[in-house]
Structure 1
Amino acid sequence: MATFLWVVVFLAMAVTLEGMRSAGGEADLVRGLPGEPPAVGFRHYAGYVGVGRKEGKSLFYWFFEAEQEPEEKPLVLWLNGGPGCSSVAYGAAQELGPFLVRSNGPNLTLNAYSWNKVANLLFLEAPVGVGFSYTNRSLDLKELGDRITAEDSYSFLQNWFRKFPRFKSHDFFIAGESYAGHYVPQLAESIFEGNKEATKGTYINLKGFMIGNAVLNDETDQLGMVEYAWSHAIISDELYSAVRKECDSFKEEEEGGKPSKACSPAVKAFLQAYDDIDIYSIYTPICLSSLSSSRRSSKLRAAPHLFSQHEQWHGIRSMPAGYDPCTEDYVKKYFNREDVQRALHANLTHLTYAYSPCSEIIHKWNDSPSSVLPVLKKLMNAGIHIWVYSGDTDGRVPVTSTRYSINAMKLHAKEKRKRKGWGGWRPWYYKEQVAGWVVEYEKGLTFATVRGAGHQVPVFAPDRSLSLFSHFLGGRSLPSSRFSQLN
């Protein structure tokens, strides 16, 4: 009888524990989000997850189940960069989430090309100090960098899966853009290393990652940025020659690799060339109503070392704003509404500062390796599925930078020569039109361009970005024929 009673108690405890775990997720279910379109057929959750060994760090997330059969779809974590910019304010609300903030009005727009059509989507605001994510220790804000961001994001995932155990066994992917070219590979490496000693309860089923207009390698990012500006008629022949001749990264080894006194004024003139256009989308208009404030922004942004030392760099607009160049202003207003914060279970501690798409309280970034190419090589060799994509109208991390970076890895294309191109370089198609160009390399890396898109590809090419994402998840090559049925 005693044994029977102990079994009953054990089973009751197990049921209670599972119920607590389920309740942990269900407690974050979003109900009554202001402006949400009617009759939405999927659930979404938002709230906080504690991270790290120390008390007081909490990262904010917004999670959308797939529109159909979420139990069968992969789970994808999306990260924006900066460092210090919000994946909720940008990725979720302006790019690829199901609800887009498209005006000053109260209503959200249903995104016809949301990525939750093919996956469960998880957006994370990291590190602390970004968006609604916070810490109770002010010292934490002075210790931030790539390492802590990766550690806390990995801790977040472990704890999030405890909150949502039903997604634990799903295929897991990471995606992101811009400075997430650091975040995503670094987090993937943390997962890869953690999985070596993981138990069944802590193993993460990482399959691959995808990064767009990604900061990868300072030297080649820098070179590509200057060549892009020259080739797109933004700077003169004389200025291009001056930067190439006078600045350290472009000097020949026998010259000592040190910048001359003429380098600083040349770089200043280079940055000023972007004063009147959007460096992140060189052919679209800028938001005139917020021009003065955005030009004087103190938001932290990473840059190749040649540019980061110049004050003018910090006057460059923080992020592109899409077809409506004032969308960022709408987003900031929306997430500062008290009724929105209540619905999202956000700002529970009543932060002393307003919500901002890019953090205004992070002023120092302690570690940022000059290159993440070794991490890419390591994970490629481990069989991790990697795609890199590039919107080709971005001047900040242009397609030239990405091509130079990938070339520095000395990879070999799967096919040396094709009917429409050399070295495996070929067009890919969407709805019978060329959507961009693509090359597939050995060991699992694919590089694709998206024609006519700026830094935030899903903003400028939502339909093609969804096609790109779907093929990535499915491990399928992008359509090689104008009349392919797999668009």
Structure 2
Amino acid sequence: MGFLLILFLLTSSSTLIAFSQTIVKTLPGYPGPLPFKLETGYIGVGEDEAVQLFYYFVESEGNPEEDPLIIWLAGGPGCGTLRAFFYEIGPMQIQYGNYMDNVPALQLDPNSWTKVANVIYLDAPTLTGYSYTKTPEAVRSSDTLSASQTAEFLRKFVKTHPKFLKNPMYVTGISYSGIVIPIITEELYKGNDEGLEPIVNIQGYMAGNPLTDKTGDINSRLEYAYRVALISEELFESTKRSCKGDYAEADSNNLQCMLDIDEVNKRVGDINIQQILDPDCDPATNLVRGGNPIIRRGNRKSLQANPIKMFPERSSLTDSFCRGDYYNYATLWANDENVMRALNVREGTVKEWLLCNLDMKYNYGKPSMPSYEFNIQSSIVYHEKLSKRNCRALIFSGDHDMMVPHVGTRNWISSINLTITESNWDAWYTNGQSSGYKTSYAHDNYTLVFATVKGAGHTAPEFKPAECFEMVKRWFAHRPI
């Protein structure tokens, strides 16, 4: 399935990098050789490199010598990046209901971001996907530790892949990774300022439906629910007045506020918080106070290796499907012994691949989970720091997402004192059709584009892959979206 190469390379500080790499030429479920270059491997980070982060790396199918080098981070935290590989921005898709080599069959994705970029799909923080630790002490992570270790990973990656040192680098991801993306990006810039080797060609960052300010983003759910006619104007105004606009941190002794929030939750209880037009297959939605912005209660079942339901092709599905059932195919594929062997997963390190590690996943209102501490409440300050650098940013939001609504995202963007430039809520198009709206901002050498993706939910590329691909292709090429 490829060859294993173990390299020991000296960093600038004369410490030893243990780097393992496998070139994967074929994969179970796909007929014939892969038409793109796939590498998998581990890079150790943290003290004594006790944290071993697993990655998939796909060289650009366009011009790998010049195309951007991006790292993609999944949400959760603790969700495996294989979800992005199969369902969002990766080179392959699962053929639902079809099997090959005793695993779900695979096919190529025509909208893979690897057509215009070199993409690292990283299982981070530790105990995510195929990543593991060598010591029990290294199991627990946090927002700040995860960001630091990911920045360390990136420097070590380009150290061991020197041909990509000159490629423009961007830190990218979705959902909860919105907390860590600007921290990682600032740390890379700062490391360059301090002369850390190797100097990386960091150019900016990108985030989709990013959780950024945990209080503000949750608060914005109520305004979003009102805007899309899920709650009445009277109920919205009453709740806003009684809770003084603060729903996420509402005073539990404020009886009228609690009554109003209860009424709101009753109205949205049967709405899918990740995509308001999708069928709701989970327990009742709560927007605040007991609701969970990143994982729905009762979802544990859908994250395990349950029996696979047979589905026809996606295009012929009716409105009665449950999107979470798709992910069971990835779980079945990833836990196959032949798959793990092909990917060169180290034997004995991962007992079971899970879509998401529930000991890490963000639970609003809790300061921590057994394996993770949520120690950054807001990452806006890091966006402010980056606005003083020579830096590019793209923030995009599926406009049917009520989990991290575009309303809250635009609020925090407006708070960092940028100047609106050539676009102000202008439509952007793919194939002659409106795909959403865009606003462009600038501050000195910093630019930020905020774009909505019409009809998309929380993981926008999953819902609107062609539109999102066209959006990033233009942005990477420094063209208007």
TM-score by length of 1: 0.80
Which residue of 2 is the match for residue 452 of structure 1?
Answer: 455
Secondary structure (helix, strand or coil) at the match of 1:465 reads helix
Alpha-carbon distance between aligned partners in 2 of 1:26 and 1:138, rounded to the nearest angstrom: 22
- The amino acid of 1:330's aligned partner reads Y
Change (3 A) 1:328 1:239: farther
1:473 and 2:470 correspond: no
Structure-2 residue corresponding to 1:74: 68
Could you say what the CA RMSD is over the residues aligned between the two structures, in angstroms? 3.2
2:115 to 117, 120, 124: 117
1:373 has 2:380 as partner = yes
SS in 1 for 2:111: coil
Corresponding residue of 2:133: 135
AA paired with 1:434?
S
Q: Where does residue 97 of structure 1 map in the other structure?
A: 90
- Per-residue CA deviations over 1:58-99 (Å, capped at 9, x if unaligned) read 0110111111332222211111111221222x2112111001
My pick for the range that moved more, 211-220 or 147-156, is 211-220
Q: Distance in 1 between matches of 2:110 and 2:75?
A: 25
**Structure 1 position 240 matched with structure 2 position 236:** yes
Q: Deviations over 1:257-299 (max 9, x none)?
A: 886134445445544544433211111235x5xx5xxx599xx
Instruction: Report the equivalent of 2:342.
Output: 343
Which residue number corresponds to residue 361 of structure 1? 359
Larger strand proportion of the pair: 2
How do residues 376-395 of structure 1 correspond to structure 2 at under 5 angstroms? 376-395=383-402
Give the whole-Å Cα distance in 1 for the aligned partners of 2:8 and 2:258: 65
What is the DSSP-based 3-state SS (H/G/I as helix, E as strand, rest coil) of the residue aligned with 2:345?
A: coil
Name the residue aligned to 2:216.
Answer: 220
Pair 1:311–1:226, CA change in 2 (3 A): closer
**1:175–1:316 Cα change, 3 Å:** farther
Deviation at 1:387, TM superposition (A): 1.1
Structure 1 counterpart SS, 2:254: coil
TM-fit CA distance, 1:331: 1.3
Q: For 1:173, which of 170, 174, 187 is the aligned residue?
A: 170
Deviation at 1:328, TM superposition (A): 1.3
Which 5+ residue runs of structure 2 have no aligned equivalent?
Answer: 1-6, 11-17, 304-313, 316-320, 361-368
Q: Distance in 2 between matches of 1:17 and 1:309?
A: 47
Instruction: Pick one of 297, 316, 319 that aligns with 1:315.
Output: 297
Q: Is the CA contact (8 Å cut-off) linking 1:248 and 1:258 kept in structure 2? A: no
SS at match of 1:425: strand
What pairs with 1:220-299 in structure 2 (closer than 5 Å)?
220-237=216-233, 239-247=235-243, 249-250=245-246, 260-264=254-258, 266-271=260-265, 273-286=267-280, 291=282, 295=283
Paired residues of 2:27 and 2:34 also in contact (CA < 8 A): no
Task: From the superposition, tell whether residues 433 and 390 of structure 1 become closer, same or farther in structure 2 (CA, over 3 Å).
Answer: same
Pairwise CA distance, 1:223:
2.9
Q: Which amino acid in 2 is paired with 1:437?
A: Y
Q: Partners in 2 of 1:147 and 1:405 — Cα distance?
A: 20
8 A contact 2:425–2:439 mirrored in 1:
yes
Instruction: Give the distance between the partners of 2:256 and 2:187, measured in 1 at CA.
Output: 42
1: CA distance between counterparts of 2:186 and 2:33? 40
Q: 1:224/1:278 Cα in 2 relative to 1: closer, same or farther (>3 Å)?
A: same
* Residues 28, 475 of structure 1: alpha-carbon distance in 2 compared, 3 angstrom cutoff: same
Note if contact 1:271-1:313 (Cα within 8 Å) is conserved in structure 2. no
- Closer, same or farther in 2 for the Cα pair 1:160/1:235, shift >3 Å? same
Is residue 191 from structure 1 mapped to residue 191 from structure 2 by the alignment? no
Name 1:433's counterpart in structure 2: 433
Q: What letter corresponds to residue 428 of structure 1 in structure 2?
A: W
- The answer to whether the 8 A contact 1:77-1:174 is kept is yes
List per-residue Cα deviations over 1:165-206 (Å, max 9, x = no partner).
Answer: 22122111121111111121111011111111225x421110
Larger radius of gyration between Structure 1 and Structure 2:
1
- Tell me the CA shift for residue 336 of structure 1: 1.2
Aligned counterparts of 2:262 and 2:54: Cα–Cα separation in 1: 38
CA 1:266–1:460: 2 relative to 1, 3 Å = same
Q: How many angstroms does 1:110 deviate by?
A: 0.8
Partner AA of 2:433 in structure 1: Q
Tell me the distance in 2 between the aligned counterparts of 1:315 and 1:16: 44
Asked if 2 retains the 8 angstrom alpha-carbon contact of 1:129 and 1:135, the reply is yes
* Equivalent residue for 2:25, pick from 21, 24, 31: 31
Match of 2:318 in 1: none
Aligned amino acid, residue 113 of structure 2: W
Structure 2 partner of 1:21? none
Deviation at 1:120, TM superposition (A): 0.7
Equivalent residue of 1:107, what SS? strand
What secondary structure does 1:410 align onto? coil
Report the secondary structure of 2:180's partner residue: helix
* Distance (Å, rounded) in 1 between the aligned partners of 2:260 and 2:334: 40
Q: 1:220 to 1:341 in 2, by over 3 A?
A: same
What amino acid sits opposite 2:88 in the alignment?
Answer: E
Q: Which structure dedicates a bigger proportion of its chain to helix? A: 1
TM-score, structure 2 normalization = 0.81
Would you say 1:149 and 2:146 are equivalent positions?
yes
Structure 1: unaligned runs, 5 residues or longer: 1-14, 19-23, 298-302, 416-422, 479-487
Distance in 2, matches of 1:235 and 1:62, equals 43
Q: Is residue 328 from structure 1 mapped to residue 343 from structure 2 by the alignment?
A: no
Moved more, 153-162 or 263-272: 263-272
The alpha-carbon distance between structure 1 residues 97 and 466, as it changes in their structure 2 partners (threshold 3 A), is same
Instruction: Give distance in 2, aligned partners of 1:228 and 1:317.
Output: 24
The residue matched to 1:108 in structure 2 has which SS?
Answer: strand
CA distance in 2, matches of 1:234, 1:296: 14
SS at match of 2:274: coil
Distance in structure 1 (CA, Å) of the matches to 2:20 and 2:76: 31
What one-letter code is carried by the residue in structure 2 that aligns with 1:85?
Answer: C
Counterparts of 2:413 and 2:433 in 1: how far apart (Å)? 26
Identity %: 29
Equivalent residue for 1:64?
A: 58
CA distance in 1, matches of 2:263, 2:134: 42
Q: Helix, strand or coil for the counterpart of 1:179?
A: helix
- Shifted more, 146-155 versus 371-380: the winner is 371-380
What's the secondary structure of 2:400's corresponding residue?
Answer: coil
Whole-Å separation in 2 of the counterparts to 1:276 and 1:177: 25
